[in-house]
Copies of this chain bind each other. A is one copy, B any other.
Amino acid sequence: MEAAFSELKSRLGKLTDLRRMEALLVWDMQVFMPPGGVPTRAAQLGTLEEIVHAHMVDDRFGELFEELEPYAASLAYDSDDASLIRVAQRDWERARRVPADLAVEFAKVAAESYEVWVTAREDSDFAPFRPWLERVVDLRRQYIECFAPYDDPYDVLLEDYEPGMRTSEIREIFAVLAPELQSLVAEQATEEEDPFLDGPFPIGAQEALSRELVEAMGATWDQFRLDPTVHPFEITFGLGDIRLTTRYSESELNSLFTAMHETGHGLYEWGVSKTLERTPLAAGVSATLHESQSRLWENVVGRSLPFWRWFYPRVQETFPGRLGDVSLEQFHRAVNRVRRSFVRVDADETSYGLHVILRFELEEELLSGRLAVADLPDAWNTRFEELMGIPVPNDAVGVLQDAHWSGGGFGYFPTYLLGTVLSIQIWERARAAIPGIDEQIERGEFGELHHWLRENIYSLGRKLTPAETIERVVGGPIDPQPYLAYLRDKFELFATV
């Protein structure tokens, strides 16, 4: 039994190494690779995917899982070893459904398609991207068929990001949110300008402030990096090697929120119990849980009045020309404005949900075949205007704005909103557990919050299912009501100012 478990761990360790190499290839491609590297990088990703796939679906795993059944049964459900066996077996069974050549082709096409998207977005021209997206959608449909029978084709894709979540559950939650968010936007959206937020804010100074925030949240540079890229993301090469990426623009301060967002993701992965290192459990459990952490730090903490009581003086002294005569209250209000806007990643906490709902609906239609890729830009523009009430001026800030679809990441977007919703449920628990949390934040002290999140969420890694993890932390399923109440409370705060 011991030999079998040790072999399992060794095989899973190598698999983790390979997955992290894949992460490095992708990170480098998006952060540093010159465009001339596209064809060779695509080949490298294809070759690695083939090797990863072969390792993942190895028949030997089946024998090991069988042999280890009595051992797993003898252990507590949430012990490291029982969890490892259970989760690895689930991953293995799922991986075996997908033929190697499909996985390899998908990896290659996704890499090339991403590069085409970068240019298409720069040129605001959907046409050259269209055949690539068609190919990507087609490959995703083939992937879905590997898991037949299924209730809903979209369920299959969701399973990769949010195991156990059903499309129908999301529809229900979004059905509550859509009209509420639309009416909140209608009520709160303003065209009032805050010209002091238009910069110029020199990028070097923004980078220094971003680094201060990453540090204040508890990350240390001996185990983290922060680099600029087109579409910010966090990626993990080891529990001691966390890569954050961000984006700077002279004409806005969004980089501060992006830094907190990506650090939130990074703290989650960093906080996974070291006993799970080099296993498939050494990661966040789902995209929703992940997003709950990035949004908690970016928005719930990072757009709160206590937070800016601490950090606004630093920002103000960094940009005295722009912010010298802007009060804390003005600034705090400005970074909490509700606006009808085009770009999801720059959206406020309220309209953000509408951006996500749009993508979820379009994805469902694309994948079910009810919407053709050729009709996607029109569908985007029509539905966007219905939801947000403003017409889309071009594809760069419309259908081409996100990287996700270029890489076939359908099923990911809904987790952004689910995570936002969950972040409020988690925040309420943390608040209840930590007396004086507002005063701590006012002093720039995030240690106790970080510690609580680590203890209650981060350290678990992928040991439990997402639903079990959520149940354990907030005592129930995802619930949109606290989020709506949180938004209303915030508007009340501003109404009384």
Contacts and interface: CB of A to CB of B under 8 A. Distances in A.
A37 interface: yes
Given A34-B224, A40-B277, A225-B34, A17 B241 contact: no
Interface string A35-53: 1111111011011101100
A371 interface: no
Interface string A225-260: 101000000000111110000000000000000000
Contacts of A38: 240
A223 B39 CA distance: 12
A274 to B, nearest CB: 11
A241 B41 contact: yes
B24 A40 contact: no
A14 interface: yes
A20 interface: yes
Given A24-B28, A223-B34, A225-B34, A18 B47 contact: yes
A21 B44 contact: yes
A262 to B, nearest CB: 15
Contacts of A35: 222-223
A13 interface: yes
Interface residues of A, number: 40
Given A18-B47, A21-B25, A51-B51, A40 B225 contact: no
> DSSP class of A's interface residues: helix, strand, loop or mixed?
helix
A25 B238 CA distance: 13
A374 B482 CA distance: 67
A13 B46 CA distance: 11
Contact of A40 (B40, B43, B51, B241): B241
B17 A43 contact: yes
The number of times this chain is found in the oligomer is 2
A20 to B, nearest CB: 6
A7 to B, nearest CB: 15
A1 interface: no
A278 interface: yes
B34 A222 contact: yes
A283 to B, nearest CB: 13
Contacts of A17: 40, 43-44, 46-48
Contact of A32 (B222, B225, B240): B225
B240 A13 contact: no
A372 interface: no
A411 B227 CA distance: 37
A36 B223 contact: yes
Contacts of A25: 21, 24
Contact of A237 (B13, B40, B223, B237): B40
25 contacts: A14-B47, A17-B40, A17-B43, A17-B44, A20-B40, A21-B25, A21-B44, A24-B25, A24-B28, A32-B225, A33-B237, A34-B223, A34-B224, A34-B240, A34-B241, A35-B223, A36-B224, A36-B238, A37-B240, A37-B241, A39-B238, A40-B237, A40-B239, A40-B277, A41-B241
